[in-house]
């Protein structure tokens, strides 16, 4: 663990992330990715829950690929943040909860696509999703809102200074 904490900040990514504009640029990309993810997946989840019934679920699902792109942007920028300052994240309870919620959200997505997607993709406008799909959609919203909340709370926790090798 200590080796990782000492090595990551010496990488090229970490070096560039500590420049004048790289961290703020990555933060902006992270926010754009988050907006893409929540704007599409969140909208699909709300439709699963019954909002906007006049929209066919299969039509709305076509937007989810933009949410996947947003998720990929967030993973890449998140890796950049973590690499530049691992001590700020590794021991941060908010970060640990954020990762936990992301992992559970991933399991939730797998559950949806392995159990409910075949039924949902056949639904037309005005039709309700099956109860299990609605539960999965509600869980998805809860989990992604948790990821956002814990991500925001990251800035309010500062680890002890002995974890910072260059402090």
Summarised one tens digit per residue, pLDDT across range 48-74 is 999 999 999 999 999 999 999 999 999
Helix intervals (H) in the chain: 2-7, 12-17, 22-37, 43-48, 57-61, 64-84, 86-90, 93-115, 117-120, 131-153
Taking 60 as the threshold, does the pLDDT of residue 162 lie above it?
no
* pTM, to two decimals: 0.88
d(CA 18, CA 107): 34
d(CA 9, CA 26): 16
pLDDT for residue 4: 86
Give the largest CA-CA distance in the chain: 59
d(CA 128, CA 2): 52
- CA trace torsion 138, 47, 109, 144 (10° rounding): -50
The stretch 140-162 carries a mean pLDDT of 87
pLDDT for residue 26: 96
* Spatial contact of 73 and 30, defined as CB atoms under 8 Å apart: yes
Q: What percent of the chain has pLDDT over 70?
A: 95
């Amino acid at each position: 663990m200590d080796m990782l904490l000492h090595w990551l900040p010496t990488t090229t990514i970490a070096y560039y992330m500590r420049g004048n504009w790289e961290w703020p640029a990555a933060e902006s990309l992270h926010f754009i990715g988050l907006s893409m993810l929540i704007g599409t997946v969140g909208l699909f989840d709300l439709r699963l829950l019954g909002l906007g019934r006049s929209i066919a679920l299969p039509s709305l699902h076509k937007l989810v690929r933009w949410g996947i792109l947003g998720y990929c942007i967030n993973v890449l920028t998140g890796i950049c943040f973590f690499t530049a300052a691992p001590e700020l994240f590794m021991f941060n309870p908010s970060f640990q909860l954020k990762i936990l919620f992301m992992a559970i959200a991933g399991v939730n997505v797998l559950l949806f696509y392995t159990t409910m997607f075949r039924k949902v993709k056949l639904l037309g406008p005005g039709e309700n999703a099956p109860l299990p799909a609605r539960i999965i959609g509600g869980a998805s919203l809860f989990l992604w809102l948790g990821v956002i909340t814990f991500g925001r709370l990251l800035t309010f926790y500062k680890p002890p200074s002995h974890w910072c090798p260059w402090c």
